[in-house]
Amino acid sequence: MVQFIFDTLFRAADLALIAVALSAVYSLIRFPNVALVQYAVVGAFVGMALQQQGVPIVPAVLLASLLVGGIAQVFNAVIFQRLLRLDPAIALIGSLALSMVLSAGFLLGFGPAAQRFSVQVAPATRVFGVRVTEMQVLTGGLTVAILIAFALLLFRTPLGREMRAVSTNPVLAAATGVNTARVTGLVVFLSGVIAALGGAMLALRGSVSIDMGTNMLLPVFAAAILGGLGNAFGAVFGAIVIAAAETLITNLNFGPIVGQDHVFLPASYAPAASFALLVAVLLFRPRGIFVSEVTRV
Amino acid sequence: MSDFLIHVISVSCIYGILALSLNLQAGFTGLMNFGLIAMFGCGVYGAGLVHRFGLPVALGPALALILAVLMGLFLARLGRRLSTDYWGIATLSIAEIARIFATNLEPLTGGAQGISGLPLLFSGLRPWDGAARLALFAVILGVAWLICERLVRSNFGLGMKLIREEPQLARALGYDIDRIRSTVMVIASVIAAVAGVLYAHYLSFVGPELLLAPETFLIWAMVIIGGIANNRGVIAGAFAMQFMMAYVPFVKDYFALPSDFVAAARLMLSGGVILGFLLLRPQGIFPERVGGRHDH
């Protein structure tokens, strides 16, 4: 049981940052930007490349995420703002296409092998009978810290108030003197930074290969949609539910149902669990569990 | 004609059928299906499963038809309450679920190794078998094109386009959106499954790697390059993309590039074509003809 909770929490931490970034940017620019999962890979790879050049790990990760924030703004200005003028669905296709181009770039630039940061690997210790590595605890704590920082920014600062105002009613916000273009640009930048940090955390905990973005795409979406796209902290809840579903489906003993002692589903079914959950939620609660429309700022 | 050229044109014909199917959904009705490959998969695995369990080959298309109708109805049902972008993501998930099951249900589907040894069409006609297959594919592509043209020029087709442009107006005018959506999805799904059956018997192999998500976006690239909502255009797009894809390995050999180049270039071509056209010429090479003749 404790093992199950730990597995779920670490998997949720994998998904949470990117899902929050996706949800936050959706609240201002009304289309789900699929390319965010690839920004996470860019963040991880740039961080590792910087570290190989001799930059210490903390500034390397920070620099990489700032860079990815800038890249997110460039892509937003050059591609997505133009496509959004046609149709949000066109922008979605554009972001899928951009993800493909980026993953092709990773394949050429980094090769198919998985890569990792060079950090000291401490042997796993046992806590409550569960194997945990130092890195898992560290990155898990950092993930929570980043989420709290983002929540404080969103709910405790004037800038956060402007962000919420623009996402609720952009016309009214503009009329009351909020610079919507600046706020949108900032959120796009932040979404890139958070996604890149998420990628770096994943890389610190294990390794990152070029298809990570593709593999993360649907679980991250499932988490964000479950929480109600546009509701940034619903996405955290969504990540936990998705992680629990994935962990449960592979740890549950189906033996009694089919009349045998031990029948476990192979781990390759785990993603199917989260996608099926996503489809079920869309069937019965099309706008997510928490509806994102807020009534007051 | 060289064997290679016959091969590329044959595959182009099959993808032309797929592009027509996607065009019916995305082009004319505005249904952004990112899981088209699952419909194709109904055809591929319909043919494959019949072969694996030793049933008569003629049952392949029948099984494919049943699977495709169910898939079309299910996706249409999902679309009933979802906005375009949510539905797009849902279709993508369903295609991935289908692929995961195809990979893991080893007793049924043969798992990752897939099913091989499907009977090749016209294998008795050697050395003219390749040309005979090409002729068959071209005829079926022509039939699919005729069906699609008739459909979009009918009253029903007007309803499809109205749903794409002004769904609320369509509802106000008394069009039954759910029924039109289901009909379009079933017809498109059956067309895609026909392409799948043909492809399975052409490769004589069926496996989960035929159902990868980038394959869907390759078909999207064909529709966008050719001209969304133009049936002739998307067939031209299918040929253009397949010819570009076919010559990627030669480029690799010519410049002595690493072997990753082929996989990367395929992704880059699909993604790059979609992005480039959406940004610079969103109507494609052959734009939709607005107005024109309608059969009533």
Q: What pLDDT is stored for residue A112 in this prediction?
A: 81
Tens-place pLDDT, residues A115-124: 888 777 767 7
Tens-place pLDDT, residues A153-162: 989 999 999 9
Q: Are B120 and B129 in contact (CB under 8 A)?
A: yes
Nearest CA in chain B to A91: B278
Tens-place pLDDT, residues B207-222: 999 999 999 999 999 9
Reported as a pLDDT band with limits 50, 70 and 90, residue A205 is: confident
Instruction: Of B112, B114, B110, B71, give the one whose Cα is nearest residue B94.
Output: B71
Q: Are B288 and B229 in contact (CB under 8 A)?
A: yes
User: In the predicted model, is pLDDT for residue A296 greater than 60?
Assistant: no
User: In the predicted model, is pLDDT for residue B288 greater than 50?
Assistant: yes
Q: What pLDDT is stored for residue A288 in this prediction?
A: 62
Q: Which of the given ranges, A71-75, B122-126, B163-167, has the highest pLDDT on average?
A: A71-75
| The token pair that represents A116 in the structure block | 């990792």
* CB of A222 less than 8 A from some CB of B: yes
Whether residue A202 is contained in a domain is answered as yes
Reported as a pLDDT band with limits 50, 70 and 90, residue B4 is: very high
Look up the ipTM and state it: 0.90
Mutate to test the interface with B, among A96, A279, A291 (most CBs of B within 10 A): A96
Nearest CA in chain B to A110: B260
User: In the predicted model, is pLDDT for residue A226 greater than 70?
Assistant: yes
Q: What pLDDT is stored for residue A284 in this prediction?
A: 80
User: In the predicted model, is pLDDT for residue A286 greater than 80?
Assistant: no
Give A 25-44 residues with CB within 8 A of chain B: 31-32
Reported as a pLDDT band with limits 50, 70 and 90, residue B260 is: confident
Is the pLDDT higher at A254 or at A234?
Answer: A234
How confident is the model over B120-142, as a mean pLDDT?
91
Whether residue A16 is contained in a domain is answered as yes
Put simply, the answer to whether A271 touches B96 (Cβ < 8 Å) is yes
Whether residue A242 is contained in a domain is answered as no
How confident is the model over B1-15, as a mean pLDDT?
92
- Our count of domains for chain A comes to 1
How confident is the model over A243-270, as a mean pLDDT?
78
Q: Are A235 and A23 in contact (CB under 8 A)?
A: yes
How confident is the model over A16-33, as a mean pLDDT?
88
Reported as a pLDDT band with limits 50, 70 and 90, residue A206 is: confident
Reported as a pLDDT band with limits 50, 70 and 90, residue B223 is: very high
Whether residue A262 is contained in a domain is answered as no
Provide the shortest C-alpha distance from residue B217 to chain A (in Å).
8
Which residues, at least 6 apart from A205, have a Cβ–Cβ distance to it below 8 Å? A10, A14, A133, A135, A136, A139
Whether residue A244 is contained in a domain is answered as no
Q: What pLDDT is stored for residue B1 in this prediction?
A: 63
Is the pLDDT higher at B137 or at A270?
Answer: B137
User: In the predicted model, is pLDDT for residue B228 greater than 80?
Assistant: yes
Whether residue A24 is contained in a domain is answered as yes
- Cβ-nearest to A94 among B81, B101, B278: B278
Task: Name the pairing type of β-strands A125-127 and A130-132.
Answer: antiparallel
Q: Are B135 and B11 in contact (CB under 8 A)?
A: no
Q: What pLDDT is stored for residue A295 in this prediction?
A: 37
Domain that holds residue A151: 2-212
A92: chain B residues, CB-CB within 8 Å: 32, 84-85, 88
Whether residue A110 is contained in a domain is answered as yes
How confident is the model over A185-204, as a mean pLDDT?
93
| CA A82-A46-A51 angle, 5° bins | 160
How confident is the model over B268-283, as a mean pLDDT?
94
User: In the predicted model, is pLDDT for residue B296 greater than 80?
Assistant: no
- % pLDDT > 70, chain A: 94
Q: Which domains does chain B have, with CATH numbers?
A: 3-280 (1.10.3470)
- Cβ-nearest to B279 among A32, A79, A112: A79
Q: What pLDDT is stored for residue A287 in this prediction?
A: 65
Put simply, the answer to whether A112 touches B267 (Cβ < 8 Å) is no
Reported as a pLDDT band with limits 50, 70 and 90, residue A293 is: very low
- In this structure, the dihedral spanned by the alpha carbons of residues A92, B35, B7 and B230, taken in order and rounded to 10 degrees, is -60
Q: What pLDDT is stored for residue A4 in this prediction?
A: 84
User: In the predicted model, is pLDDT for residue A57 greater than 80?
Assistant: yes
Could you please report the per-residue DSSP string of B105-138? -HHHH-GGG-EE-PPPTTGGGTTSHHHHHHHHHH
Tens-place pLDDT, residues B60-106: 999 999 999 999 999 999 888 788 888 988 899 999 999 999 998 88
Whether residue A135 is contained in a domain is answered as yes
Which residues, at least 6 apart from B60, have a Cβ–Cβ distance to it below 8 Å? B46, B47, B50, B51, B197, B200, B201
Map residue A65 onto helix, strand or coil: helix
Put simply, the answer to whether A83 touches B278 (Cβ < 8 Å) is yes
Q: What pLDDT is stored for residue B80 in this prediction?
A: 84
Q: Are A89 and B88 in contact (CB under 8 A)?
A: yes
